[in-house]
Chains A and B, each alone.
Chain A
Amino acid sequence: MTPVISAEHLSVSYGDHKVLADISLGVEEGQFIGILGPNGCGKTTFLQTLSRVFAPDAGGVMVEGQDISAYDTKELAKILGCMRQETDAAFPFTVREIVLMGRYPHIRRLAPLAEADLVIANEAMKTTNTLHLADRLITEISGGEQQRVLIARLLAQQPKILLLDEPTSHLDISHQIEILNMLRDLTPKITVISVFHDFNLASYFCDRLVLMSGGGIIATGAPAKVLTAERLLESFHVRMLVNMHPLTGKPYLIPEYGTTATPAAQHVHVMSGGGTGVVLFHLLLLHGCRVTAGVLAANDSDAAAAAALGIEAVVEPPFVAVSEASVRRLKLLLFDADAVVVAAMPIGFGNLSNLSILLETDVPVYFLGKCEDFADGRADVLRARLCECGAVEMSEITDFLRRIV
């Protein structure tokens, strides 16, 4: 199948600065393509070259098998529609007038608007949820509303290929999903090429992703193939956790927020479970503490988090009471620790020994919030005894950090 639009060895420079270097990309009809890349990597320039706003210094763009420079401007506008991030309309046109301007390439000079044009514009406004704004002025509506009006104008233009530069950057989450759903429903009749900044939206909606960096393309393909932690580190210089979205099976990305363990004077041991420890791990690492954890059950999300964050932890297989070996390892860690914090974890017979060991050491103990007792009240008894021996109870994580760091 021949591509409906393709870039062939495109190079573009602004003066001495090379923005695009030898880019080639073929897009097949009916696909939804997402372009990702850090600021200044040339995404917008790429779209502008694809839509003939700039002529490339070298290479060319082919649209429906014909060189783009050969097209008449109106003919091209019937095939290729483009939407910028914002409009800066100089004069106060009404929203309806702006949307009707999408009909420009279809109307002959001096010909009046036909009934069909008005119907198409109305339909476009309905689809983008802007019909109620029809008589408002474009200069007096919000950024998100303007963006939807621009999409309405693009729909009224009825092109076969859409080039979009962050079409949902000003929209709230419900409109983001609504508009992107609508754009995806336009495929495969229409081809959509869109710049994204949100990995997860791109991953969910696009058939194929193009990852750009430094004026070139570093990967193209299905979202799962393109969105890998290594590639994102290479292009964005950010560590990302790549998971699978539990309901869609598409890649789902979360930034790590830069918590690399640094050697530090303070050593804090965290006793947690059931996900109550992750926040502590993260904040303590951020504050430069050496963090250890345990005893944790291997299937506990805290254990997974500790492993991902590079935290030394004592881990026990799931559904087993804490073993002698684990107790020995825990004692070694506690011997070295400057403080122990017990998170608001559920305590049952399995992990009760965590608390009892604390009675045998003289490390300062902090309780952060209430622990739920599943051990017939023994956990509460142990807690009371620890408090008698000087353990401190706190409810706010910030109070604890102030004491420790």
Chain B
Amino acid sequence: MLRHPVLVLPFLFLLLIASILVTTCIGVSGLLLWNFDTEMLQKLLFEVRLPRVLGAMLVGLGLAAAGCAMQGLFRNPMADPYIIGTASGGALGAAFAIVLLGGLFLPALAFLGATLSTIGVYMISLRNGRVTGETLLLSGIAVSFFLSALLSFFMYISGNSLHQIMFWMMGGFWDVYWDKVLLGLLIPAACMVLFVFSRDLNVMTLGEEEAIHLGVNTEKTKRILLLTSSFITGIAVAIAGGIGFIGLIIPHVMRIIVGPDHRVLLPASMMVGAALLMWADTAARTLPVEIPVGIITAFFGAPFFIYLLRGRTRV
């Protein structure tokens, strides 16, 4: 295990900057170095590619951060940002917008669906002012099933919009422009909140009782972390739909590399998640046929994950 965060974090930061520069230069119309039409170049670069790259970066770092917080909070490396109903809630909001409003207010409704379902799950799990991780997970599963039933109903009656809903659910950045990037700037702001609580998160992974003994206000911490994570996930869903895998695998992989201390794990996961999603999106848009980026992340991520799991003697 690498335990030299002092070196790891600057290295990852350089990797992130390099990824932004390189992926912006790659596209279906070829590398920009060969293009002489400067006006065309500027338009393409600053109005199409750069916002898309930055959008992927913001969503990537957001999902990785939310995944990190959820895994720490639930003390479970299999948790992801969507685990407490966020994905199905967001999808239902989006489907609602597509079927009934012709796609109007889609990001807003997706955000609303994602955050409302999370808050619903939290309220359902609340007993005497307390929630336990187990109840949250089970309530999340129950609510997800319920919302999925509604979603299936919408898809069933959607007729021509079915393809649109499916495309949205797999996630992608094909319609990300500067307005969505501005919206996405809320993500790093919310990630700062998670980072402020990283030491509390460390202690929380010891178990709730031990955290109480060490002086953590566990209920308050849980509430803040859940709310912030679902806010981040809601924004990510509003920008790019339901991109899977980043929030599950990145924290897990980075925990193997830099260790479980969230003060290092959180920023490291954010940078790697951002870089990975930028590259995945670059692949998605440069392939002969543009495909949803969620397919790319899962297709390459899952085998890599299996390789890591097999390679470790202890999990």
Residues in chain A within 8 A of chain B (CB atoms): 48, 51-53, 73-78, 80-84, 87-94, 97-98, 101-102, 104-105, 107, 109-110, 139-140, 157
Contacts and interface: CB of A to CB of B under 8 A. Distances in A.
A102 B205 contact: no
Contact of B206 (A77, A89, A105): A89
Given A90-B75, A92-B259, A93-B261, A78 B215 contact: yes
Contacts of A84: 209-210, 213
A104 B214 contact: yes
Contacts of A139: 314
A104 B1 CA distance: 25
A90 B203 CA distance: 10
Given A90-B75, A90-B207, A93-B202, 14 more contacts: A51-B213, A53-B209, A84-B213, A89-B206, A90-B205, A101-B202, A102-B214, A104-B203, A104-B214, A105-B215, A107-B199, A110-B199, A139-B314, A157-B214
Nearest to B130: A55
A77 B260 contact: no
Contacts of A110: 196, 199
Interface residues of B, number: 26
Indicate the member of A73, A76, A82, A102 with the most B CB atoms within 10 Å. Answer: A73
B217 A73 contact: yes
B214 A77 contact: yes
Contacts of B49: none
B140 to A, nearest CB: 18
A101 B214 contact: yes
9 contacts: A51-B212, A77-B213, A82-B213, A92-B260, A93-B260, A97-B261, A107-B199, A110-B196, A110-B199
B216 interface: yes
Given A73-B217, A101-B203, A48 B209 contact: yes
Interface of B: 1, 3, 72, 75-77, 196, 199, 202-203, 205-207, 209-210, 212-217, 255, 259-261, 314
Nearest to A71: B215
A152 B1 CA distance: 24
B124 to A, nearest CB: 20
Given A73-B215, A73-B217, A90 B76 contact: yes
A78 B214 CA distance: 8
A140 B314 contact: yes
Given A90-B75, A93-B261, A107-B199, A73 B210 contact: no
A135 to B, nearest CB: 9
B207 A88 contact: yes
Contacts of A105: 214-215
A101 B77 CA distance: 21
Contacts of A98: 206
Nearest to B262: A91
A104 B207 contact: no
B212 A91 contact: no
Contacts of B205: 89-91, 93
A51 B259 CA distance: 31
A53 B211 CA distance: 10
Contacts of A48: 209
A74 B209 CA distance: 14
B214 A91 contact: no
Main secondary structure on chain B at its contact with chain A?
loop
Contacts of A102: 214
Nearest to A163: B213
Nearest to B3: A94
A87 B199 contact: no
A46 to B, nearest CB: 14
Contacts of A109: 196, 199
Contact of B212 (A73, A97, A107): A73
A97 B206 CA distance: 12
Nearest to A51: B213
A101 B207 CA distance: 13
Identify the 7 closest CB pairs spanning chains A and B, nearest first.
A77-B215, A91-B260, A90-B75, A105-B215, A82-B213, A74-B215, A73-B217
Contacts of B3: 94
A399 B120 CA distance: 73
Contact of B215 (A76, A94, A140): A76
A147 to B, nearest CB: 13
Nearest to A52: B212
B206 A73 contact: no
A140 B312 CA distance: 14
Contact of A87 (B1, B77, B206, B259): B206
B210 A87 contact: yes
A302 B283 CA distance: 89
A92 B214 CA distance: 19
A88 B75 CA distance: 10
A90 B314 CA distance: 13
Nearest to B74: A90
A288 to B, nearest CB: 49
Nearest to A102: B214
Contacts of B215: 73-78, 104-105
A81 B207 contact: no
Contacts of A88: 206-207
A173 to B, nearest CB: 27
Contacts of A77: 213-215
Nearest to B76: A90
A139 B255 CA distance: 14
A94 B214 CA distance: 18
A326 to B, nearest CB: 65
A186 to B, nearest CB: 17
Nearest to A109: B196
A110 B3 CA distance: 20
B250 to A, nearest CB: 15
Contacts of B216: 73, 104
B266 to A, nearest CB: 13
A315 B206 CA distance: 63
A168 to B, nearest CB: 18
Contacts of B214: 77, 101-102, 104-105, 157
A74 B255 CA distance: 28
Contact of B213 (A81, A89, A90, A93): A81
B265 to A, nearest CB: 9
